[in-house]
A and B are shown apart, each in its own frame.
Chain A
């Protein structure tokens, strides 16, 4: 177990380094000059050249890369070209908003996904099951940005029940989190349904019912407990998926998180910020995958750490 953990951590570091490398190459391929973006409109060619050398952008690519990775090793993510702020400060100021949104998203996913999945499993093959599954499909297939706008229109504009976007109170969180959750809720419902049907067919459950235990008791006490475990393991993967997809929801709801920061940085080619946001998001994706991998063997004894 410890050995496994160590090798997985090493792998994680390797993957993050890979992400940094790919992101570095891509941002440097973009046909625009960050020094020019900084220099302003009045700048002479010399001014731009001066800024380029100040930022080390006149050095060969491999040296810039070396410097960036060297900085990373010391925990230094660099400074924003535009705002001059330390990237770590910048990321930390945005992270709470994104974490809140992600947590809210997972909450709603589970809130809708699990009961719907159980319902469908208990009525497997019958009309209710079909209806739930259609809803699950709709959720999985809904375009987040359109859904977000429609929720805004209905709940915030027409009926003024919730704030029209922005950040701060729990009320602000409801609509963005709900939008983020719709896709995942459909997905959880499907997984929950599958796991539940499988457990209900398992021998011990059949035995339990055969021995005359009340069906409700069996369902609640045994089947549910076993079926919910794969869902818990899935949360790890989900963290990564949600973190990677917040750009859209944050943009629709003016949510001041990592996604918005990344999007604005791409617009003005603030390379250190782009790198920082990509790295942070990748970190959460990798962390989520790692958690999932660690939890799976706990819930499914057939899988071993390998």
Chain B
């Protein structure tokens, strides 16, 4: 996990844009993200076959998957389905969960972080002690156990990931709120008689927002990886919904004879995660007040 530096609200948005566009890697990441989003959105048009259709001639007589050829461009999976179509539809799952789960984690984390920072006393202490506990809880085991309780579906998987990922967000927000509340403009506003809740809303939220933007983008990368991992362990989205991690999981036992079944979805996960990381990193640099 890449920790974002605290960043301050930019006065001049155009300057941020300029900086973003100057960052070659970030730009590259952004383009790839857009391409993947388009691929996912237009999957029904682009996919050569129905991703769920198990072709009777999609397997050898002994039941082995077919390697890439003219008909199945990326080969078939262990049920004789077209891998390319499954990857394209799988992009929808990965990106949807990436966005939804991450948004939910941000929401929960920001809310609890703000609350803890605002009510510094008992409530704040309780919230932060709870985040301490959740920080120490092995995240993957937590996700696996939660998936066992809540029957996995797309939205439940998103929820599970959010329940695991909110913790760090809460801590970052909490730290920012604490730092900011000692800042001059907050104390002076308080001295001027403004109510604390109002101050929070008016001053703190806009200041926390850029950090969240960076965190949100980087977090999508983590989320996509976690979703794939859960699917790989068999506790992710339910089959036959195509999921990149799920494809690898299903193919694991045939890996040595059909390596393409791991290589292609693995590559898809890698490219997606890298792209969001590049964009997030570029955003952070662009929003960093210490930057050029």
- A-side residues, CB < 8 A to B, are 11, 14-16, 18-19, 21-23, 26-27, 29-31, 130, 133-134, 137-138, 140-147, 149-150, 152-153, 157, 187, 190, 240, 243-245, 247-248, 251, 262-263, 266, 274, 277-278, 281-282, 285-286, 289
Contacting pair A16 B136 (CB below 8 A): yes
Stretch from B66-74, B143-151, B187-195 that touches the partner:
B143-151
Give 24 A-B contacts (CB < 8 Å), ordered by A residue.
Answer: A14-B132, A15-B136, A16-B136, A26-B146, A30-B149, A130-B25, A142-B270, A143-B232, A143-B245, A145-B248, A146-B248, A146-B270, A152-B255, A157-B256, A187-B1, A190-B2, A240-B136, A244-B139, A245-B139, A247-B144, A248-B233, A266-B141, A266-B145, A289-B135
State the main secondary structure of chain B at its contact with A. Answer: helix
List the B side residues contacting A150 at CB < 8 Å: 259, 262-263, 266
Contacting pair B266 A26 (CB below 8 A): no
Contacting pair B255 A18 (CB below 8 A): no
The smallest C-beta distance from A192 to any residue of chain B, in angstroms, reads 14
Interface bits B220-264 vs A (CB < 8 Å: 1, else 0): 010001001100110000000000010010001001100100110
12 more A-B residue pairs beyond the given contacts A22-B133, A134-B25, A266-B145, with a C-beta to C-beta distance below 8 A: A16-B136, A23-B137, A26-B142, A137-B25, A140-B2, A142-B273, A143-B232, A145-B232, A153-B255, A248-B233, A277-B141, A285-B135
The smallest C-beta distance from A82 to any residue of chain B, in angstroms, reads 17
Interface bits B253-292 vs A (CB < 8 Å: 1, else 0): 0011001001101100110011001100100000000000
List the A side residues contacting B140 at CB < 8 Å: 244-245, 247-248
Contacting pair A263 B144 (CB below 8 A): yes
List the B side residues contacting A11 at CB < 8 Å: 132
List the A side residues contacting B225 at CB < 8 Å: 141, 143
Contacting pair A141 B266 (CB below 8 A): no
List the A side residues contacting B259 at CB < 8 Å: 150, 153
Contacting pair B149 A29 (CB below 8 A): yes
State the main secondary structure of chain A at its contact with B. Answer: helix
Contacting pair B232 A278 (CB below 8 A): no
B42 interface contact, C-beta 8 A = no
The smallest C-beta distance from B227 to any residue of chain A, in angstroms, reads 10
Contacting pair B136 A282 (CB below 8 A): yes
Question: Total contacts A to B, CB within 8 angstroms?
Answer: 139
Cα(A147)–Cα(B269), bound, Å: 11
Contacting pair A26 B149 (CB below 8 A): yes
Question: On chain B, which size bracket covers the interface?
Answer: 35 or more
List the A side residues contacting B197 at CB < 8 Å: none
Q: Which residue from B141, B228, B229 sits with its C-beta under 8 Å from A244?
A: B141
List the A side residues contacting B201 at CB < 8 Å: none
The smallest C-beta distance from B225 to any residue of chain A, in angstroms, reads 6
B55 interface contact, C-beta 8 A = no
Contacting pair B136 A285 (CB below 8 A): yes
Cα(A18)–Cα(B221), bound, Å: 29
The smallest C-beta distance from B74 to any residue of chain A, in angstroms, reads 15
Cα(A187)–Cα(B281), bound, Å: 13
The smallest C-beta distance from B219 to any residue of chain A, in angstroms, reads 13
Cα(A31)–Cα(B141), bound, Å: 17
List the A side residues contacting B262 at CB < 8 Å: 146, 149-150, 153
Given contacts A11-B132, A19-B136, A137-B278, contact A248 B229 (CB under 8 A): yes
Contacting pair A144 B229 (CB below 8 A): yes
Cα(A77)–Cα(B47), bound, Å: 53
List the A side residues contacting B221 at CB < 8 Å: 140-141
Contacting pair B136 A262 (CB below 8 A): no
Q: Which residue from B137, B255, B256, B269 sits with its C-beta under 8 Å from A22?
A: B137
Q: Which residue from B133, B148, B281 sits with its C-beta under 8 Å from A15?
A: B133
Contacting pair B270 A138 (CB below 8 A): yes
The smallest C-beta distance from A23 to any residue of chain B, in angstroms, reads 7
Contacting pair A141 B273 (CB below 8 A): yes
The smallest C-beta distance from B94 to any residue of chain A, in angstroms, reads 11
Contacting pair A137 B274 (CB below 8 A): yes
